Amino acid sequence: RKEVEQDPGPFNVPEGATVAFNCTYSNSASQSFFWYRQDCRKEPKLLMSVYSSGNEDGRFTAQLNRASQYISLLIRDSKLSDSATYLCAVAVAGNNRKLIWGLGTSLAVNP
């Protein structure tokens, strides 16, 4: 089983739709969680960190479910510009400061 797993998609949704992605992780000692966005032929950019209590940034909401070992990203009122690949990344507690990456979920928002 991979350490971090994502549904690769693609998710094809119309503008204005709400879409959600999950990312599961295998190590129960995982401590820090992130969602990154990667546009085609560009580098990944931090979208948001995921906090234990969940957090929201505009149309984006991130949640952490420790019991089931997954994080989620909810995008409301999808825009064409949200089309990208969404990567989740996980860090295990301790001195290791290396993120473990999922392979990404592809989202296409259609007019």
Partner 1 sequence: GAGVSQSPSNKVTEKGKDVELRCDPISGHTALYWYRQRLGQGLEFLIYFQGNSAPDKSGLPSDRFSAERTGESVSTLTIQRTQQEDSAVYLCASSSGQGIHNGYGYTFGSGTRLTVV
**Which residues are near partner 1 by CB under 8 A?**
31-32, 34, 36, 42-46, 49, 51, 87, 89, 91, 93, 97-99, 101-104
Cβ closest to partner 1, residue 56 vs residue 77: 56
Question: Least CB distance from residue 97 to partner 1, whole Å?
Answer: 5
Question: Least CB distance from residue 35 to partner 1, whole Å?
Answer: 9
User: From start to end of the chain, where are the E strands?
Assistant: 4-6, 11-14, 19-25, 30-38, 45-50, 55-57, 60-65, 70-75, 84-92, 100-101, 105-110
